Structure 1
Amino acid sequence: MSFYDEVGGAETFQRLVHEFYVGVKADPELRALYPEEDLGPAERRLRMFLEQYFGGPNTYSQERGHPRLRMRHAPFPVTLDMRDRWMRHMLAAMDTLELDEAHAEAMRDYFMRAAHMLVNTDDTPHASL
């Protein structure tokens, strides 16, 4: 049985990603990173990606090719603040699920590693010269 199946399959990932985007919609700074007016397509892409990553259907790769997370996020300014905002909403979404601690910890660990890896812009205030 895959991790995907162990945590509840499609229903779990649909709930997780939907709750995550509820948080994104309420966060103007993070929401500004999403160029689409309708977050539905972004929600679908994240859900498909997470399902595939955690052992579910490989629909993401079939439709979009290799995930290449860093490349796909390169056009967007992913700062430490944006990483932290993303994590705050993802962890809040995780809290809506009833996962056992081992599965929840594995997911939190992945989210933290992936979010940190995507930081591509320094958001440290620079002193004037």
Structure 2
Amino acid sequence: MFAAVGGEKTFRKIVRGFYAQVPDDDILGPMYPVEDMAGAEDRLYWFLSQYWGGPRTYQEKRGNPMLRRRHFPFAIDEVAAERWLELMARSLEQIDNETLPAPHRAAIWNHMQQVAYMMINRPG
């Protein structure tokens, strides 16, 4: 799907749109050190690109995703997962339907929902 929806340009736009909202967010902002925002943006881009059939940069630079393990140091409850999804939904809304047709948009969104709820590691 990576190439079918515009490849790097589209996935960079999704990730950039998400991270543009993070610093001012009262829930997610404190989880992301300002000095590593660009690094966090790159890692999410690499992960999403690889997952959806793009370059295997994430694997080459970071190894196996192990998402729950990598996110365990952060207190992620249902409220945080919902906020992550809210910001990501806003970012996805910035991608036009021609670039990201409904079936592809739905597949990406369903995956993001599954991953967001899988990251919950604290009661909330």
Name the TM tier (shorter chain).
over 0.9
Offset of residue 24 of structure 1: 1.1
- 5+ residue gaps, structure 1: 124-129
Aligned partner of 2:118 in structure 1 is 117
Aligned partner of 1:126 in structure 2 is none
Q: How does 1:1-129 map to 2 (within 5 A)?
A: 3-98=1-96, 99-123=100-124
Structure holding more helix per residue: 2
- Give the counterpart letter for 1:111 in structure 2: M
Query: What is the TM-score with the length of structure 2 in the denominator?
Result: 0.94
**Contact 2:23 2:34 (8 Å CA) reproduced:** no
Distance 1:45 1:122 in 2: 26
The alignment covers a number of residue pairs equal to 121
Distance 2:14 2:42 in 1: 12
**Residue 2 of structure 2: SS of its match in structure 1?**
helix
Offset of residue 35 of structure 1: 3.1
Query: What is the TM-score with the length of structure 1 in the denominator?
Result: 0.90
Q: Percent identity?
A: 38
Which 4+ stretches in 1 moved above 6 angstroms? none
Offset of residue 36 of structure 1: 4.5
Offset of residue 38 of structure 1: 3.9
- Please list the CA deviations of residues 41-92 of structure 1 after superposition, one character each: whole Å capped at 9, or x if unmatched: 1000100110001000000110110000011001110110100110000011
Higher CA-based Rg = 1
Distance 2:62 2:53 in 1: 17
